[in-house]
Amino acid sequence: MAKKTAEKGWRKVVQRAMQEAAKEEALRRLGTPEPGFNYRWEHVRTVVRLAVRLATLTGADKDIVEAAAWLHDIAKDKGAKHPAEGAKIARKLLPKTDFPPDKIEPVAQAIAQHTGLWRDTPLTNLEAMVLWDADKLAKLGLTAAFHWTAMFVQDGVNRTSRDLIRRGRLTKWQSHTVASMHTEPARRAAAERLKRYQQLWDTLECELNGEDLQL
Ligand SMILES: [Fe+2]
Ligand SMILES: [Fe+2]
């Protein structure tokens, strides 16, 4: 029972910190902390679920992976530097909680290494690999299609279905992402997700053109 209460401590702290960062990002980008759809918050919660599941499947440390997943985009306002800046925030924030002290640096390392949409050199640490794979899995498949569509619609005016399709297909890099996956379950899921993602836009275009109407 005591353990359960202790665990709740760090998880609540990192969740709240990330939620605040997501609201600030929305305020910067959309002029409101409470937009109809908060992409960042939705993305991070998805990455947490995927990372924890992947940790179970690969034997990675679940505490490290979950904390890293919650905090990996907390410094997104720093652009390309956000992995390194996010790592710094983790090093400051986690010691104020009941998070195991010996696992703080591995969390920071995993966050610092979640760079790039694909990699020429694979990562070597299991927890960093799991975070990288989970983060990139969230940028593939129907998850990406719906998350990005919601964001795209919210960001612009008078968007049409054709615009959505055009935007959806601007993702040539995804095949490199699939090839860069580190863990076997993520590699398999990524390949399937990419297939579904490409099929979705083709299917939508086919429906809009009525190409599915046959004699
Ligand atoms: Fe990121
Ligand atoms: Fe991310």
Report the alpha-carbon distance of residue 60 to residue 125 in Å, rounded. 9
pLDDT at 8: 56
Query: Which residues are within 5 Å of ligand 2 (an ion), measured at CB?
Result: 73, 135
| Residue pLDDT, tens place only, 172-188 | 999 999 999 999 999 99
pLDDT at 154: 87
Cα 45 to ligand 2 centre (Å): 10
Report the alpha-carbon distance of residue 188 to residue 60 in Å, rounded. 18
Q: Is the pLDDT of residue 41 over 60?
A: yes
pLDDT at 100: 97
Output the CATH code of domain 2-208.
Answer: 1.10.3210.10
Q: Is the pLDDT of residue 32 over 60?
A: yes
Report the alpha-carbon distance of residue 130 to residue 56 in Å, rounded. 10
Report the alpha-carbon distance of residue 2 to residue 22 in Å, rounded. 31
Cα 114 to ligand 1 centre (Å): 6
Report the alpha-carbon distance of residue 87 to residue 73 in Å, rounded. 10
pLDDT at 5: 45
Cα 21 to ligand 1 centre (Å): 13
**In the chain, what are the domain boundaries?**
2-208
- What the block records as the tokens of 95 is 């010691």
In the block, tokens 């919660």 appear at: 45
**Full-model pTM:** 0.93
Q: What percent of the chain has pLDDT over 70?
A: 96
- Cα–Cα distances (Å) from 108 to 4, 28, 32, 51, 62, in that order, read 24, 26, 30, 15, 14
Q: What percent of the chain has pLDDT over 90?
A: 93
| Residue pLDDT, tens place only, 123-165 | 999 999 999 999 999 999 999 999 999 999 988 889 999 999 9
Instruction: Round the average pLDDT of the chain to a whole number and report it.
Output: 94
pLDDT at 155: 83
Cα 135 to ligand 2 centre (Å): 5
Q: State phi, psi for 139 to the nearest 5 degrees.
A: -105, 20
| Residue pLDDT, tens place only, 199-209 | 999 999 999 99
Cα 137 to ligand 2 centre (Å): 10
Q: Is the pLDDT of residue 1 over 60?
A: no
pLDDT at 48: 98
pLDDT at 126: 98
The maximal CA–CA distance of the chain, rounded, in angstroms, is 68
pLDDT at 7: 44
pLDDT at 182: 98
